[in-house]
Amino acid sequence: MPELPEVNTFKKYFEGTSLRQKIVDVSISDDKIIRNISAQEFVNRLTGKSFSASSRRGKYMFGHLDNGTFVLFHFGMTGDFKYYFEEEDRPKHERFHILFEGGGKLGFDCPRKFARIEFIENLKTYIKELGLGEDALIIQEGDFIEMMNGRTTSIKGFLLNQKLLAGVGNLYADEICYQTRVYPGSRVNKLSVRKKKEIFAAMQSILNTAIDRTAHYKDYPDDWFWKWRTKEGTSEKGKILVEKIAGRTTYFVKGWQRKYM
């Protein structure tokens, strides 16, 4: 599933192609992707409007319409944008597209149909009802550490809990633990303040590096665990083991990553 850096890349693409253009039509080929209103109502709500801005909270991206309402773009596992003019450039698994006055179309491609689109009247209320925590790139170090106080969950479970911290998913959580030499199943309340600060700094660095490289995995640094994470065997730091931690398949390096239990 796309995580914070991937969604940030979608956001930049959206801003570079689709802002401040009048929407003249919306064509929906799969109405199941529109989750909270009917397809026709979605078309009616967008037609004649334009996107004035966009924002992101963790893995959630929001298009801001010029009348003060919003569209949620949640990409699921395979959602993606494609801006095009010619029909032959239409994405193969397009679920809907937005037609702009200049003739450009913003297509939403989603082969596996796990994405969801919603129309939102009040963004603050929506985020509150969703229970999303602070964005992983916005949260301050002091708030991050305070949020850890007294928690007995695993550090991986903490990083993945979107109600505490929005944006970190399975792959980046493993990377954070690898770079800070912490076993992902370590208990949060057993970590020193110094180690918690290391984890915060690594999280910020990893996410920002991924964003700078437009979440293009092949461009990630050679010394990242990413290079070996999906292979059982040996990394440059030792033997890779695989366990279920916080309900997710988790990769770590035996002996390199210390257990705090």
Query: Is residue 26 located within the same domain as residue 117?
Result: yes
Any idea what DSSP says for residue 188?
G
Give the dihedral of Cα atoms 38, 39, 43, 44; nearest 10 deg. -30
What's the total number of domains in the chain?
Answer: 2
- Kindly report the number of other CB atoms within 10 A of residue 148's CB atom: 19
Are 157 and 206 found together in one domain? yes
Dihedral angle sign, alpha carbons of residues 85, 87, 89, 90: positive
Over residues 172-190, the pLDDT tens digits come to 999 999 999 999 999 999 9
Is 260 inside any structural domain? no
Paired sense of beta strands 165-166 and 134-135, if any: parallel
CA proximity to 1, closest of 160, 154, 147, 118: 160
Give how far the C-alpha of residue 45 lies from the chain's centroid of Cα atoms, to the nearest Å.
26
Last residue of a domain, one of 67, 100, 130: 130
pLDDT for residue 147 = 97
CATH classification of the domain holding 139: 1.10.8.50
- Do residues 55 and 105 both lie within one domain? yes
Strands 70-74, 116-120: pairing is: antiparallel
Q: 123 with 53, same domain?
A: yes
Q: Is residue 259 part of a domain?
A: no
Report the C-alpha gap between 34 and 210 in whole angstroms.
30
Which amino acid, residue 56? Answer: R
The mean of the pLDDT values for the chain is 96
DSSP secondary structure letter of residue 25: E
Q: What is the pLDDT of residues 118-163, one digit of tens each?
A: 999 999 999 999 999 999 999 999 999 999 999 999 999 999 999 9
User: Residue 61 sits in a domain of what CATH number?
Assistant: 3.20.190.10
User: Which residue range(s) make up the domain with 248?
Assistant: 134-253
Burial state string for 38-49 with b = 16 or more CB within 10 A and e = fewer than 16? ebeebbebbeee
Same domain, 154 and 210: yes
Question: 125 is written with which tokens?
Answer: 């209320």
Phi, psi of 133 (to 5 degrees): -75, -175
What tens-digit pLDDT sequence spans the chain (261 residues)? 789 999 999 999 999 999 999 999 999 999 999 999 999 999 999 999 999 999 999 999 999 999 999 999 999 999 999 999 999 999 999 999 999 999 999 999 999 999 999 999 999 999 999 999 999 999 999 999 999 999 999 999 999 999 999 999 999 999 999 999 999 999 999 999 999 999 999 999 999 999 999 999 999 999 999 988 887 788 889 999 999 999 999 999 999 999 999
pLDDT score of 231: 77
CA distance 69 to 89: 30
